[in-house]
Structure 1
Amino acid sequence: MIRAMMENQNASVAQEGGKMGSDGYTAPSLRVQLNVQDKQVVIDNGMVQVTIAKPEGFVTGIKYNGIGNLLEVLNEEWDRGYWDLVWSEAGSAGTTGTDDRMNATKFNVIVENEEQVEISFTRMWDSSMAGQMVPLNIDKRFVMLRNCSGFYSYGIYEHSGDWPAFNLPQTRIVFKLRKDKFNYMAVGDNRRRHMPLPDDRSPRRGQPLATPEAVLLVDPVEPEFKGEVDDKYQYSCENKDLQVHGWICFDPPVGFWQITPSNEFRSGGLLKQNLTSHVGPITLAMFLSAHYGGDDLVLKLAPGEPWKKIFGPVFFYLNCTSENPLKLWDDAKEQMLSEVQGWPYAFPASAEYQILDQRGYVNGRLMIRDKYISDTLIPAAGAYVGLAPPGEIGSWQTEVKGYQFWTKADSDGYFSINNVRTGDYNIYAWVPCYVGDYRNDEVITITLGCQVDVGDLVFEPPRNGPTLWEIGVPDRSAAEFYVPDPNPKYINRLYLNHPDKFRQYGLWERYTELYPDSDLIYTVGASDYTKDWFFAQVPRKIDDSTYKGTTWQIKFKLDDARPSETYKLRLALATANVAQLEVRVNSPQANPPLFSSGVIGHDNTIARHGIHGLYRSYVVDVPGAQLVVGDNTVFLSQTMSTSPLQGVMYDYIRFEGPPSPNDKKDAKSWTCSRNSYVLDNNVHI
């Protein structure tokens, strides 16, 4: 089995490697070689050979295990392996812009010895290209190590203090593999399969659907895919789970894997969803994207705003076997763990990259104070605790310029955040089964080698009174609600009988089929949110071009109504897409409503099968005078209806009574926090 074992924090990297297989064969230990030619450079360590166009920095060829080129030889050389970005002028709306393959203009050798080769492809900003080229200095680096079955890449972007403003919605690394070789994709243990061919998406073989990414395969090359929907967003993944993905070739058995050992340089935090791999066969290393968040996740640099960031390194791992080709996936997961354990790497030569002894550590304990659950502090078991640049509460989920460092608290609420780059940070957290976000007001400055103990921190989740009723589980996802089976005409067989059934195409259309004449009605105490609460509040289809906003009802009983008191309706949204949510109580036509969100969100989660986008939380004051003893109704109206893909997903809804010194403990919520969340300390984030 191949390994790329990193010797922690040594200047040189000792690794052992070989071809995976029961035959026990190990590749000879050969030095890394660099061959600089007129229009290309070749780096070779006897296991892998990588050819890169000079000076542009496109990867034109990867030779491994007898395959002359793993990349798609039918593509132009600039369209096989490359860094790219999307940029737009300052003030531009939306998440699109100009695609830029980042053609470098200069090549440099940074390190060349028997153990390591590091090469650089740079493009410097030229003011004469203002408006035509993104105002960034760009340095693309490639690294190959001795006895390492693969190669690394990282990039350094810099915007000087006197350069123009601009927007940067996306940047990434793309590899396009040979379609005649790689047709088995793996994103996770239960998300792997043989994939259709790119030809199947052509107009002759595929029928375009409501979104440009989705195609119904009507006449695929391989008949087994007939009737399936292919959509790259069906394979998206949260950053916290996005550490290894790739493709397998069965003849000969070879794997090509993209391994991301750290989330620190990705935008949007652990819950940000990114693309992985998709039909092509294509594999992506996403660093910055606006997917599942819209304009809020676009990096926007002001005029004269200095900015510098290093993306990566990420590892492109190659393996082979003489056994079952599917074992290559298991080996890739083991290699990922090795890379994670070796982070931060010791080998990058850029001064912008901070090695272990240049970084700091933060540890502490997070506790929860909620008098309606316990008289004493509660350990924040399984809390996600992180460091991100100073900002507002919850700002980490739209943070795109700096670095983030996250960990998971243990069952007693203790946490340790390791390998933090120097700089200023706030501590942020959120706790499964509790509403809201935590932020510690004190700014923490990380210096070289520092160890900061913040002691006990206390999070007071937002609450005004005892829980009278609740719907869902506050986990920032709509996954616990009713997700219907897909229309049989629009299926992806991977997700049949799968826990992620929300990834099927066209589920928004099922709402109209289930509620053709009237909207959803949920009765507290009788309804079951796993069966009776549709996962997304979307418009009802009237005809092929007309949609109507929907009003859902929550019916509940009160044994006591206090006219002079104020009740609270707490709404946590898992996503919103060009939606407007209005709340009324016992008066469906009241104008104005008790609450209106205004038009919110550009997450596009409904179309992209993501089950959540950006988290939003609201609290609605409900005057006790509007409530009655006995039957009451909350009306939730989603009024936007120009598209079937507008709407919201709820995370959690709670109705709180007015506070009272004699309130009993909220046993229902405590049961939720103990039993609805399973702590997993083996997740690498």
Structure 2
Amino acid sequence: MRTTSLFAALAAAKTALAKGPFLQQVTPTQWIIGNDLWNVTQGATYATNLQYQGSDAVGKAQGHYAGVDGEANLVYTSAKIVSNSQDYIDVAFSSSLGDLHWVIYPDLAGAYQYFVNKALPDLSIFRTLWRLDPALFTYGFNTNKNEKLPDFSLYANAPEIQDETFQFPDGSYVTKYDFANYVRERDFVGVFGDQTGSWYIHPTNEYQPGNHLSQTLTVHRESATGDAVQLNVVQDTSHFRVGVKTPQPVGKIWGPWLWYLNNGSVSDARTRAAHERATFPYSFLNNTAYHSRGSIKGKLTLSDGRPAAGAAVFLGDTDTSIRPLVQGSNYYYTTFADASGSFSIPNVRSGSYGLIAASNGGVIGDVYTNFTSPVTISKDKTADLGSLTWTVPLNEKIFQIGDFDKKATGFTNSGLHVHGLTEKSPANLTYTVGVSKTSDWYYASSKLGSWDVVFNTSAPSKTAKALLSVSLAGYSQSTSLTIYLNGNKTIGTITKDALTSDPALYRSGTISGEWRFLQYEIAASDLKAGKNVLSFTTDRYTLWRGILWDSIILEWIV
């Protein structure tokens, strides 16, 4: 059981009479910060004794801390007020790796936070988090889920079947990945109960790495202690993708975001999130580069004349050959084109970027090429790219299953993060082009067996070639799959020898992981006039692993 030192108790008594934001040092490595509504005791690593609504919201839990990859947590050696206005104070807790700032206003339950890098190593993960009293915080919330956290008592008889994944006596699974979601779809996440809520509100995602498909963790029940865990993962080039460590420039800023306390009301947190988006960028941040911003706009048209309606637009690293999911050293922006192919992004930090546009399904769901272009953003100016032509092949489609959106959208069992759904996919399946629906295909292949696509075609000429494009939303080894034509012709293989594993499928991912794109040429002589069968045969089975599907298209090359 955690106890408060005599010094901390005396300091707390003094601050009870304090007015407005404050920082008070208790020992060389212990401080109290807060205002009239809340205060917390910060130690060398952990912040505990969160006083709010007349009680300690941390209790026996671990409290607040920050760190990189695993449990390499920051160790603070000093704290000081670096900015003090009539409206707020900016308190910086310094570590050898960087400074974590708390910007405290007098009437705000919570604080703005941001981290400034001094000497971070190349890394995959950087996060701050709260581990809070499970008796007060019983529910978890993110964009996709608003659910009660699993009762801690259930873990007692639940075997751990893989990292932080447990099977309850009724056969159901629970994992910390169940509450994962797409970073750029969320603006606030939190844990809450009947009387108290703790939220992370992000007015922008510019300091988050990766493109639209970047996913990370949000909230969960800590299996070892029962703590309610509220995660703020602001750097992640590891989970749900083929992970890498990325270098971090000195002076890079993650944030500011708002850590917000309330009475547990989700609607109030949503209203506050809208307010934060409207006030971004924040005037309190004293950083010239942060306030040097411009905007970008343009219009994408496919080379066949169609507007690139709904295209996913990503503003990332100047080197567009770097996989978007693991771009993580700079600042990143995303949007979607409208029905005319037009897009715009405001409040972009000045600098050089690489623009990548890709199909997000819908009316351009047959497009598997990407569009790229260099972009320069200047302060107080709009980078008007004008009309942009996106080159697409003019091949003749034979059939297509699923839209190209780098997701398993539209296939059966694709949706929320749920562990073990690969086992609900059939071992054998027949999909008849012109008869079957997209939903007759399943989001993932795993079991030993064959998924057969029956289609009709006739070759335009004896020398014609067909092109089979296989787009995977993810792949988890060591599943192996062989593609056959008409029972005996091997078209290609998908194995761990050709593809590096990503963990999406076995970490509850049912929509996407790391996108892969494979193409195979087929001679006209290998196809029959009339009925043909393409077989996707799984010949090596691995529990919860497999192929996560995006789209399959067969075309005559024009």
Identity of aligned residues (%): 24
Corresponding position: 1:506 with 2:457: no
Corresponding position: 1:197 with 2:186: no
The alpha-carbon deviation at position 464 of structure 1 amounts to: 4.6
> Which residue, out of 187, 195, 201, partners 2:142?
187
**In structure 2, C-alpha distance between the alignment counterparts of 1:448 and 1:196, rounded to whole Å:** 48
The alpha-carbon deviation at position 285 of structure 1 amounts to: 0.6
The alpha-carbon deviation at position 227 of structure 1 amounts to: 5.7
Provide Cα deviations, 1:126-172, integer angstroms capped at 9, x if missing partner. Answer: xxxxxxxxxxx322111112322211221122449xxxxx6412111
**In structure 2, C-alpha distance between the alignment counterparts of 1:36 and 1:314, rounded to whole Å:** 25
Could you tell me which residue of structure 2 aligns to residue 396 of structure 1? Answer: 324
**In structure 1, C-alpha distance between the alignment counterparts of 2:112 and 2:506, rounded to whole Å:** 34
The alpha-carbon deviation at position 458 of structure 1 amounts to: 1.7
Could you tell me which residue of structure 1 aligns to residue 7 of structure 2? Answer: none
The alpha-carbon deviation at position 573 of structure 1 amounts to: 1.0
> Amino acid of the residue matched to residue 535 of structure 1?
Y
SS in 1 for 2:159: strand
Could you tell me which residue of structure 1 aligns to residue 498 of structure 2? Answer: 599
Provide Cα deviations, 1:447-481, integer angstroms capped at 9, x if missing partner. Answer: 332321111112223x3512111111222211311
Measured at CA, do residues 437 and 243 of structure 1 come closer, stay the same or move farther in structure 2, by a change above 3 Å?
farther
The alpha-carbon deviation at position 310 of structure 1 amounts to: 1.4
Provide Cα deviations, 1:365-422, integer angstroms capped at 9, x if missing partner. Answer: 122223xxxxxx2222222223111123573222111111122222222221111112
The answer (yes or no) to whether the contact 1:409–1:415 under 8 Å persists in 2 is: yes
Could you tell me which residue of structure 1 aligns to residue 57 of structure 2? Answer: 70
**In structure 2, C-alpha distance between the alignment counterparts of 1:41 and 1:104, rounded to whole Å:** 11
> Amino acid of the residue matched to residue 74 of structure 1?
K
Measured at CA, do residues 394 and 655 of structure 1 come closer, stay the same or move farther in structure 2, by a change above 3 Å?
farther
The answer (yes or no) to whether the contact 2:297–2:384 under 8 Å persists in 1 is: yes
For structure 1, the residue ranges without an aligned partner over 5 or more in a row are 1-28, 87-97, 125-136, 161-165, 219-225, 371-376, 484-498, 541-549, 660-685
Could you tell me which residue of structure 1 aligns to residue 437 of structure 2? Answer: 528
The alpha-carbon deviation at position 622 of structure 1 amounts to: 1.0
> Which residue, out of 124, 130, 133, partners 1:175?
130
SS in 2 for 1:607: helix
The answer (yes or no) to whether the contact 2:117–2:249 under 8 Å persists in 1 is: no
**In structure 2, C-alpha distance between the alignment counterparts of 1:196 and 1:658, rounded to whole Å:** 53
Corresponding position: 1:101 with 2:90: no
Could you tell me which residue of structure 1 aligns to residue 301 of structure 2? Answer: 367
**In structure 1, C-alpha distance between the alignment counterparts of 2:19 and 2:356, rounded to whole Å:** 47
Corresponding position: 1:654 with 2:532: no
SS in 2 for 1:37: strand
The alpha-carbon deviation at position 651 of structure 1 amounts to: 0.7
> Which residue, out of 357, 371, 385, partners 1:429?
357
> Amino acid of the residue matched to residue 198 of structure 1?
F
> Amino acid of the residue matched to residue 545 of structure 2?
Q
The alpha-carbon deviation at position 208 of structure 1 amounts to: 2.7
**In structure 2, C-alpha distance between the alignment counterparts of 1:644 and 1:272, rounded to whole Å:** 24
SS in 1 for 2:129: strand
**In structure 1, C-alpha distance between the alignment counterparts of 2:439 and 2:463, rounded to whole Å:** 35
Provide Cα deviations, 1:516-564, integer angstroms capped at 9, x if missing partner. Answer: xxx3232212322312x22211133xxxxxxxxx443212111445321
The alpha-carbon deviation at position 64 of structure 1 amounts to: 1.8
**In structure 2, C-alpha distance between the alignment counterparts of 1:368 and 1:464, rounded to whole Å:** 11
**In structure 2, C-alpha distance between the alignment counterparts of 1:574 and 1:237, rounded to whole Å:** 15
SS in 2 for 1:180: coil
Measured at CA, do residues 471 and 394 of structure 1 come closer, stay the same or move farther in structure 2, by a change above 3 Å?
farther
**In structure 1, C-alpha distance between the alignment counterparts of 2:115 and 2:150, rounded to whole Å:** 32
Could you tell me which residue of structure 2 aligns to residue 4 of structure 1? Answer: none
Map 1:240-319 → 2, pairs under 5 A: 240-250=184-194, 253-279=195-221, 280-294=227-241, 296-301=242-247, 308-319=251-262
> Amino acid of the residue matched to residue 94 of structure 2?
T
Provide Cα deviations, 1:177-211, integer angstroms capped at 9, x if missing partner. Answer: 101111122223x621222233432xx332333x2
For structure 2, the residue ranges without an aligned partner over 5 or more in a row are 1-17, 222-226
> Which residue, out of 81, 92, 111, partners 2:64?
81
> Amino acid of the residue matched to residue 48 of structure 1?
W
> Amino acid of the residue matched to residue 257 of structure 1?
W
Measured at CA, do residues 276 and 651 of structure 1 come closer, stay the same or move farther in structure 2, by a change above 3 Å?
same
The answer (yes or no) to whether the contact 1:175–1:283 under 8 Å persists in 2 is: yes
The answer (yes or no) to whether the contact 1:216–1:229 under 8 Å persists in 2 is: yes
The answer (yes or no) to whether the contact 2:320–2:356 under 8 Å persists in 1 is: no
The alpha-carbon deviation at position 596 of structure 1 amounts to: 5.4
Provide Cα deviations, 1:620-675, integer angstroms capped at 9, x if missing partner. Answer: 1111111110121223244544x32332111111111232xxxxxxxxxxxxxxxx
Corresponding position: 1:110 with 2:100: no
**In structure 2, C-alpha distance between the alignment counterparts of 1:142 and 1:602, rounded to whole Å:** 39
Could you tell me which residue of structure 2 aligns to residue 213 of structure 1? Answer: 164
Could you tell me which residue of structure 2 aligns to residue 672 of structure 1? Answer: none
Provide Cα deviations, 1:205-253, integer angstroms capped at 9, x if missing partner. Answer: 32333x23222333xxxxxxx6643211111100122221112221xx2
**In structure 2, C-alpha distance between the alignment counterparts of 1:417 and 1:290, rounded to whole Å:** 23
TM-score normalised by L of structure 1: 0.72
**In structure 2, C-alpha distance between the alignment counterparts of 1:552 and 1:227, rounded to whole Å:** 28
The alpha-carbon deviation at position 307 of structure 1 amounts to: 5.1
The answer (yes or no) to whether the contact 2:238–2:244 under 8 Å persists in 1 is: no
Could you tell me which residue of structure 1 aligns to residue 376 of structure 2? Answer: 445
Corresponding position: 1:37 with 2:26: yes
**In structure 1, C-alpha distance between the alignment counterparts of 2:123 and 2:188, rounded to whole Å:** 25
Corresponding position: 1:347 with 2:250: no
TM-score normalised by L of structure 2: 0.88
**In structure 2, C-alpha distance between the alignment counterparts of 1:45 and 1:411, rounded to whole Å:** 48
Could you tell me which residue of structure 1 aligns to residue 519 of structure 2? Answer: 619
SS in 1 for 2:274: helix
How many residues are paired up?
A: 528
**In structure 2, C-alpha distance between the alignment counterparts of 1:50 and 1:115, rounded to whole Å:** 20
The alpha-carbon deviation at position 306 of structure 1 amounts to: 5.6
Could you tell me which residue of structure 1 aligns to residue 3 of structure 2? Answer: none
> Amino acid of the residue matched to residue 354 of structure 1?
Y
**In structure 1, C-alpha distance between the alignment counterparts of 2:529 and 2:68, rounded to whole Å:** 59
Measured at CA, do residues 292 and 479 of structure 1 come closer, stay the same or move farther in structure 2, by a change above 3 Å?
farther
**In structure 2, C-alpha distance between the alignment counterparts of 1:624 and 1:276, rounded to whole Å:** 50
SS in 2 for 1:504: coil
Normalized per residue, the structure richer in strand is 2
RMSD of aligned residue pairs (Cα, Å) = 2.5
Map 1:112-131 → 2, pairs under 5 A: 112-124=84-96
Could you tell me which residue of structure 2 aligns to residue 458 of structure 1? Answer: 389
Q: Higher mean Cα deviation, 579-588 or 378-387?
A: 579-588
> Amino acid of the residue matched to residue 345 of structure 1?
Y
> Amino acid of the residue matched to residue 207 of structure 1?
P
> Which residue, out of 399, 403, 408, partners 1:473?
403
The alpha-carbon deviation at position 60 of structure 1 amounts to: 1.6
> Which residue, out of 572, 591, 607, partners 2:471?
572
**In structure 2, C-alpha distance between the alignment counterparts of 1:306 and 1:557, rounded to whole Å:** 55
The answer (yes or no) to whether the contact 1:464–1:568 under 8 Å persists in 2 is: no
The answer (yes or no) to whether the contact 1:57–1:140 under 8 Å persists in 2 is: no
The answer (yes or no) to whether the contact 2:446–2:544 under 8 Å persists in 1 is: yes
